[in-house]
Amino acid sequence: MNYIQLKDVSKYWGTTKAVENLNIEIKKGEFVIFFGAFGLW
C-alpha cells in the first residue's frame, strides 16, 4: 500500500519547466529527497 502517490505532476517557474509528468510512489517508512541544480526541495 502506498503512503504518498504523485501522478503526472508538473512544475513551472514562469515559462521554465522544472518537472514534467513526475510519477512516484512512496511507501510508509521510506525517505525521499528531491534535488537538482539549485538545491533541495
For 1-41, the pLDDT digits (tens) are 768 999 999 999 899 888 899 999 999 999 988 777 776 55
Q: Give me the pLDDT at residue 41, please.
A: 55
Residue with cell 525521499: 32
- Residue 32 domain boundaries: 2-40
CA dihedral in degrees (1, 26, 19, 34; nearest 10)?
A: 180
Angle at the Cα of 32 from the Cα atoms of 12 and 28, rounded to 5 degrees: 120
Q: How many folded domains does the chain comprise?
A: 1
